[in-house]
Amino acid sequence: MSADVGPLRVLVAGAGPFGQEHLMRLAARADVTLVGIADPDAGARQRACERFGVEDCLADALQLIDAIAADAIIVATPAASHVAISAHALGAALCVLVEKPVAASVESVQALMAAAAKAKGFILPGHVLRFSRDHQRLVEIARSGRIGTVLYVNSRRYRDDNHALRFPDTDPVLMTLIHDIDLAQWITEADFRAVHAHRSGGPGFRSMTTITATTSTGVVCDLRTCWTFSEGQAPPDLWEVVGDRGSVELTVGQGVTLYCEGRVTAFPVNEADDPLRNEQDHLLACMRDRSRRPALGLAEAFVGLKLADAAMQSLREQRAVAIDA
């Protein structure tokens, strides 16, 4: 696709909360034409179509792909439908941005990888924090050698208890910890070899979930999410990376702090940053210049889902679980 092509034609599957976030940003872009929306919920579909001035709105995403000429689709539907929609879109030569998790299991990711291998388009997993400037700074410092060899990674991602009501069928491992799993992989540049997960509290997902995972390079990653806070009272997300010569941490909304070489260096938060807009920018740039490789692909998502699958097995069986290479 040449650089002088006009606005790219984009479909959106899913008019729920996250689909709406994508739609708002797409509708504000001059380099995109929103050509269709799909959602099985008639009310959500109608509201989205009226709000964003889109004429072609269908219940079925597969029918939308077949009916409307487009260049790309953003898949923001429930995880169980991601593979079917994404594979169908790839078969229609579309490029795909699929929200996290890209699939509900490792086996279904493998099916999607097979579809992507023979497709003209590409697929970009929607791990949006890879497009956050503050998270990028954290990872750049952690991998630069300034704190030495990485020994330990720690994350905190707490949410209010409305999450347990809004997502009763989605395990917190796949809903929130999947971000931290991906970031741990991004920081360490390694696969995972073992995991021990714990869950306390209740009922249901109104609980604390912790994952202790070890990478193939020996880095220990403690990842935590808790869906028990009252609305507005959860502390900010926190990331800490410890090396053998110092550490770096990110408190979301406050900035990055580096502890090394006998001093403390503070990097202020990037106030104007919009990671979801950045992610869309990246998708469109890769579409316009096919020699440009997407920032991450299904191989990275596959590694993360292997850990997520093993973590949920660990929760069910209440034991540590080894992860095959």
Going through the chain in order, the beta strands assigned E by DSSP cover 8-13, 32-38, 57-58, 72-75, 95-99, 123-126, 150-160, 192-201, 207-215, 220-229, 238-243, 246-251, 255-260, 263-268, 321-322
All domains in the chain, ordered by first residue: 8-126 (3.40.50.720), 130-275+306-322 (3.30.360.10)
Residues 74 and 80: beta-carbon distance below 8 Å: no
Per-residue confidence band for 167, with pLDDT thresholds at 50, 70 and 90: confident
pLDDT of 125-144, one tens digit each? 999 999 999 999 999 999 99
pLDDT at position 320: 98
Instruction: Say yes or no to pLDDT of 5 above 80.
Output: no
CB count in 10 Å sphere of residue 230: 9
Instruction: Say yes or no to pLDDT of 2 above 50.
Output: no
Per-residue confidence band for 4, with pLDDT thresholds at 50, 70 and 90: low
pLDDT of 75-104, one tens digit each? 999 999 999 999 999 999 999 999 999 998
pLDDT of 239-280, one tens digit each? 999 999 999 999 999 999 999 999 999 999 999 999 999 999
> pTM (2 decimals)?
0.93
Q: What are the Cα distances from residue 244, in Å, to 18, 27, 136, 260, 264?
A: 39, 47, 21, 10, 16
pLDDT of 275-320, one tens digit each? 999 999 999 999 999 999 999 999 999 999 999 999 999 999 999 9
Measure the CA–CA gap between 98 and 74, rounded to whole angstroms: 6
Mean local confidence (pLDDT), 23-27: 97
Q: Mean pLDDT across the chain, nearest whole number?
A: 95
Instruction: Say yes or no to pLDDT of 3 above 60.
Output: no
Q: What are the Cα distances from residue 171, in Å, to 176, 194, 219, 228?
A: 9, 20, 25, 14
CB count in 10 Å sphere of residue 270: 16
